[in-house]
């Protein structure tokens, strides 16, 4: 990275979370000169995904955060003119709290561990609840390990895709095109079906004939660290949601691949069961009686256009959705399915809100598969990066690890005119977009934040075993008593490219009432059992075992209105961090609203032009301009080639 950046921009964006990245893409696409900065060393802010060791480093950083000494302000004070004043930005991130890590997998030391950085770290809060018998476990794990490691050479996501996969992807595109009329020429969402993907995955030992469960040790997890892509936020894409629409419209979808969530689960009477929600599910369900099938289908069909039948719900507008469901002849299991797994609402939610949520779920069905959700391969953290890439393609400049000291405000006009970065460089711009975690305590003194409780688990089995072990499931566990929050559980299999083979990555999310562990531990205990070397009773054996667990609270700034911040100039705009919801609607809405505020006459992320329609100003005499086109396409290709983009901007700068 060059030491000095250009000093004139139209828009400076600080923070690379989802709303900032969408804004960056939108601004750059509409012809603005964009500088996109992040003080962190990775993209995405609290929307990021990490490899396992990356996550450990991230945790370490938070634990060391408090040690950072405040740098002297003198270095930049001199750059502020008399007619100006400075608004300092926050030096350290305070959005993550109450981190607790538990390791249950056996931590034998016999293995040759490469990721020293991760292992050396032994944070004080790590509690190993497993009492390992060193000899025993060492022997056992060595045995399983040697079995396991064979044919496991393919490195994680940096591997260039094989030709085979690419051509399969193309067929997928055609399929999607055939089914989805709305798609433009190239715009479409790549959904990868299981069959396609499996062919390209490394062939590993088939352990199915082995009755014993695979033992995954901690060192294996560390060794396969790069197989993991652990999201800080756990979200899914509604297939008719704003984010999907935006990805398609803007053609940013070309940078990502998705898988359909395969199962909607419910937790009822201590058991996990699959919820039939699509027509095919209901038809194939063995659990529902014929009449239940009809009643469920009838209710769901009604919900799809409930507005057309006010007579059916008008009388219950004052009631809660759960009371309303009781009047619809639905059997208790069907009521549970609709309330918790389809509408995914709290019992207390109103009839109208419940119907709205149900409708939203249902209208997403069938667009890309039999469930309404898509999950991005390699994790949710891909999505902000995709938008950054789009921004870079249209000329945006990217700098990570680039701190901003302060915003410079012109006293007379009251407008912000520049930033001063950690190198003391002054960069001028017309508009400034700041992620709220960068705002200083002073600016935020009046703000009340909510919190999100999160848990990340690595487990050895799925919470509901099925024919295929490659399932992506979502489950809402209703609160045991009213007043507390329902917990949303997302279970990802290894073919989502977020965890190593024979493990599952489980995300738990709810809005906080206490610390994350206090909020979530009871659900974790219901669904899982800690891994131990010793024999345990049979009932416990049926549950998946916990290998590793992380709890933390994340600040939820989504509901904060701009007016709560003190003394922000009118041309400084604030983006919030992740919200607690399942979809990404809040981030997309926020980005679009801010964009329209800044550039009321510009279109928000219009489809990019076809390469053959691109001509260059001043080249009127040769409108074909084949050479230049190729360059643009080449740049697109090269940026697509590497998934782990250090700085997408580089490709255009050199």
Partner 1 sequence: MHGRLKVKTSEEQAEAKRLEREQKLKLYQSATRTVFQKRQAGELDESVLELTSQILGANPDFATLWNCRREVLQQLEAQKSPEELAALVKTELGFLESCLRVNPKSYGTWHHRCWLLGRLPEPNWARELELCARFLEVDERNFHCWDYRRFVAAQAAVPPAEELAFTDSLITRNFSNYSSWHYRSCLLPQLHPQPDSGPQGRLPEDVLLKELELVQNAFFTDPNDQSAWFYHRWLLGRADPQDALRCLHVSRDEACLTVSLSRPVLVGSGTETLLLTVDKSPLAVEWRTPDGRTRPSHVWLCDLPAASLNDQLPQHTFRVIWTAGDAQKECVLLKGRQEGWCRDSATDEQLFRCELSVEKSTVLQSELESCKELQELEPENKWCLLTIILLMRALDPLLYEKETLQYFQTLKAVDPMRAAYLDDLRSKFLLENSVLKMEYAEVRVLHLGHKDLTVLCHLEQLLLVTHLDLSHNRLRALPPALAALRCLEVLQANDNAIESLDGVTSLPRLQELSLCNNRLWQPTLLQPLASCPRLALLHLQGNPLCQAVGTSEHLAELLPSVNSILT
**Angle subtended at Cα 453 by Cα 269 and Cα 371, rounded to the nearest 5 degrees:** 55
- Which residue from 80, 138, 295, 536 is in contact with partner 1, where contact means CB under 8 A? 295
Q: In what order do the strands lie in the sheet with 404-410?
A: 84-88, 404-410, 416-421, 426-428
The C-alpha angle 111, 116, 122, rounded to 5 degrees, equals: 95
d(CA 118, CA 208): 32
Using CB under 8 A, pick the residue from 147, 291, 315, 541 that binds partner 1. 291
Q: Which of 91, 293, 430, 526 binds partner 1 (CB under 8 A)?
A: 293
User: Where do runs of H (alpha helix) occur along 122-193?
Assistant: 134-149, 163-179
CB of 196 to partner 1, least distance (A): 11
Instruction: Find the binding residues for partner 1 in span 366-395 (CB under 8 A).
Output: 394
x/- binding map, residues 241-280, to partner 1, per CB under 8 A? --------------------------------------xx
Smallest gap, in angstroms, from Cβ of residue 301 to partner 1? 9
Tell me the closest approach of the beta carbon of residue 342 to partner 1, in angstroms: 16
The CA distance from 596 to 586, in Å, is 15
Question: By C-alpha distance, which of 383, 433, 403, 391 is closest to 649?
Answer: 391
Alpha carbon distance 297, 293 (integer Å): 6
- Nearest approach in angstroms of CB 197 to partner 1 is 15
Spatial separation of the C-alpha atoms in residues 226 and 152, rounded to whole Å? 13
On the 0-12 / 13-18 / 19+ scale of CB atoms within 10 A, 511 is: middle
Q: Which is nearer to partner 1, 284 or 653 (CB)?
A: 284
Minimum CB–partner distance for residue 2 and partner 1 (Å): 21
3-class secondary structure, 575: strand
Region of 432 please: left (phi>0), alpha (psi -120 to 50) or beta. Answer: beta
Nearer to partner 1, 293 or 526 (CB): 293
Stretch that binds partner 1, among 171-179, 183-191, 263-271, 333-341 (CB under 8 A): 171-179
The token pair at 116 is 């020293």
421: β partners: 404
Smallest separation (angstroms) from partner 1 to the CB of 195: 9
- Contact region for partner 1 (CB under 8 A) — 281-289, 331-339, 477-485, 634-642? 281-289
Shortest approach of partner 1 to residue 180 CB, angstroms? 13
Question: Is 445 among the residues that bind partner 1 (CB under 8 A)?
Answer: no
Shortest distance, CB of residue 615 to partner 1, whole angstroms?
Answer: 5
DSSP classification of residue 191: B
Q: What is each CA distance from 571 to 23, 424, 433, in whole angstroms? A: 15, 22, 8
Figure out which of the listed residues 41, 114, 184, 283 binds partner 1, where binding follows CB under 8 A. Answer: 283
* Beta carbon nearer to partner 1, 31 or 151: 31
> Quick one: tokens of 523?
């659900």
Running DSSP on this structure, what letter comes out for residue 154? -
Q: Of 117, 175, 198, 442, which lies in the binding site for partner 1, with binding defined by CB under 8 A?
A: 175
Q: Show the binding pattern over residues 612-641: x = contacts partner 1 (CB under 8 A), - = does not.
A: xxxxxxx----x------------------
Q: Which is nearer to partner 1, 195 or 483 (CB)?
A: 195
Interface with partner 1 in residues 593-612 (CB under 8 A)? 609, 612
Contacts with partner 1 by CB under 8 A lie at 31, 174-175, 178, 279-280, 282-284, 290-291, 293-295, 297-298, 394, 609, 612-618, 623
């Amino acid at each position: 990275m060059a030491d000095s950046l250009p000093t004139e921009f139209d828009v400076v964006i600080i923070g690379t979370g989802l709303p900032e990245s969408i804004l960056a893409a939108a601004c750059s696409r509409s012809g603005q000169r964009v500088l996109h900065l992040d003080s962190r060393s990775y993209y995405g802010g609290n929307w990021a995904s990490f490899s396992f060791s990356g996550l450990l480093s991230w945790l370490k950083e938070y634990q060391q955060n408090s040690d950072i000494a405040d740098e002297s302000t003198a270095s930049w004070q001199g750059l502020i003119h008399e007619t100006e004043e400075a608004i300092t930005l926050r030096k350290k991130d305070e959005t993550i709290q109450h981190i607790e890590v538990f390791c249950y997998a056996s931590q034998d030391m016999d293995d040759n561990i490469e990721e020293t950085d991760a292992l050396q770290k032994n944070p004080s809060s790590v509690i190993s609840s497993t009492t390992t018998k060193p000899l025993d476990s060492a022997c056992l794990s060595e045995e399983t390990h040697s079995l396991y490691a064979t044919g496991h050479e393919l490195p994680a996501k940096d591997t260039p895709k094989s030709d085979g996969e690419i051509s399969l992807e193309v067929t997928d595109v055609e399929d999607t095109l055939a089914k989805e009329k709305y798609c433009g020429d190239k715009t479409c969402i790549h959904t990868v079906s299981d069959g396609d993907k499996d062919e390209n995955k490394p062939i590993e030992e088939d352990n199915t004939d082995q009755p014993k469960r695979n033992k995954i040790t901690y060192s294996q997890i560390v060794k396969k660290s790069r197989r993991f892509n652990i999201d800080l936020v756990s979200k899914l894409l509604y297939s008719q949601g704003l984010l999907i629409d935006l990805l398609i419209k803007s053609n940013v979808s070309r940078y990502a691949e998705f898988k359909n969530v395969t199962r909607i689960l419910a937790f009822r009477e201590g058991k996990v069961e699959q919820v039939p929600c699509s027509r095919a599910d209901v038809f194939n369900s063995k659990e529902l009686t014929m009449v239940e099938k009809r009643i469920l289908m009838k209710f769901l069909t009604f919900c799809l256009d409930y507005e057309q039948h006010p007579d059916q719900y008008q009388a219950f507008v004052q009631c809660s959705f759960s009371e309303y469901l009781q009047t619809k002849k639905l059997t208790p299991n069907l009521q549970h399915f609709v309330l918790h797994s389809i509408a995914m609402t709290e019992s207390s939610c109103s009839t109208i809100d419940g119907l709205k949520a149900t409708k939203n779920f249902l209208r997403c069905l069938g667009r890309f598969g039999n469930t309404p959700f898509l999950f991005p391969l390699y994790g949710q953290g891909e999505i902000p990066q995709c938008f950054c890439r789009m921004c870079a393609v249209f000329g945006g400049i990217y700098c990570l690890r680039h701190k901003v000291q302060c915003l410079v405000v012109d006293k007379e006009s009251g407008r912000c005119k520049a930033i001063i970065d950690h190198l003391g460089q002054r960069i001028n711009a017309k508009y400034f977009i700041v992620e709220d975690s960068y705002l200083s305590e002073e600016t935020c003194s009046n703000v009340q934040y909510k919190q999100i409780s999160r848990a990340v688990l690595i487990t050895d089995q799925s919470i509901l075993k099925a024919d295929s072990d490659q399932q992506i499931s979502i489950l809402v566990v209703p609160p045991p008593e009213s007043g507390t929050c329902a917990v949303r559980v997302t279970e990802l299999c290894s073919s989502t490219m977020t965890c190593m083979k024979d493990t599952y990555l489980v995300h738990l999310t709810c809005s906080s009432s206490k610390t994350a562990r206090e909020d979530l531990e009871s659900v974790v205990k219901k669904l899982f059992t800690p891994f131990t070397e010793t024999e345990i009773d049979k009932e416990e054996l049926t549950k998946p075992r916990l290998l590793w667990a992380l709890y933390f609270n994340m600040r939820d700034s989504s509901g904060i209105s701009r007016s709560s911040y003190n003394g922000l100039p009118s041309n400084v705009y604030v983006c919030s961090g992740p919200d607690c919801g399942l979809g990404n609607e809040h981030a997309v809405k926020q980005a679009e609203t801010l964009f329209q505020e800044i550039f009321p006459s510009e279109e928000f992320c219009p489809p990019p032009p076809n390469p053959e329609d691109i001509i260059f100003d001043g080249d009127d005499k040769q409108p074909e301009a084949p050479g230049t086109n190729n360059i643009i396409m080449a740049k697109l290709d090269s940026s697509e080639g590497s998934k782990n983009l250090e700085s997408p901007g580089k490709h255009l700068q050199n």
